[in-house]
Structure 1
């Protein structure tokens, strides 16, 4: 998707790859990494579009107020589907775009 496909306050889901010795309950696609000491997995993050930049970048806001700058055509990013908007409504509504800016890339 391009940046023009997104608008401020759109609800999006970002599939973030993580690694740890014990995946959490929301982890999916879990695989043993390397020599089996850790696991690689994916966690879905529920974020809101705060700003659409002209260079095909999106500034996304998390529930805890962190900001991420992501390419609009990142394959890990997509708009929330209608049923996800209903099911995870509380996670999206917990995001306050007026909170102080904390930057994380």
Structure 2
């Protein structure tokens, strides 16, 4: 698969892997741990590309103003298609209207 070309402002979905004793409503691909009370699962995160870094990474911004650096060819990162953009429009608009701290990178 070819490398995706990213632009600042792109609406993306990052499939984040998590573990906990009680997965939330948005959890998918839920599997119990082999020994213990934990579950392993993934959750779709709706973020916006904030910066393209020289290291080949993209900096993503969350609804609460947090930033994450992810490889631009990470298989868990994908562009939101038109249907996902329509269904999750409020999530992305909330990020675009978030006021960022003055000392943000």
Are the aligned partners of 1:27 and 1:42 in contact in 2 as well (CA < 8 Å)?
A: yes
1:15 positional shift: 0.2
Question: Take 1:39 and 1:102, find their aligned partners in 2: how far apart are those partners?
Answer: 34
TM-score (norm 2): 0.89
The 1:102/1:40 distance shift into structure 2, 3 A limit, reads farther
Question: Take 1:58 and 1:2, find their aligned partners in 2: how far apart are those partners?
Answer: 13
Partner of 1:84: 84
TM-score (norm 1): 0.89
1:36 positional shift: 3.8
Match runs of 1:53-72 below 5 Å: 53-72=53-72
Partner of 2:100: 99
Structure 1's consecutive aligned runs of 4 or more residues displaced over 2 angstroms after TM superposition are none
Partner of 1:50: 50
Are the aligned partners of 1:31 and 1:39 in contact in 2 as well (CA < 8 Å)?
A: yes
Unaligned runs of 5+ in 2: none
Unaligned runs of 5+ in 1: none
Question: Take 1:19 and 1:98, find their aligned partners in 2: how far apart are those partners?
Answer: 30
RMSD between superposed Cα atoms in Å: 1.8
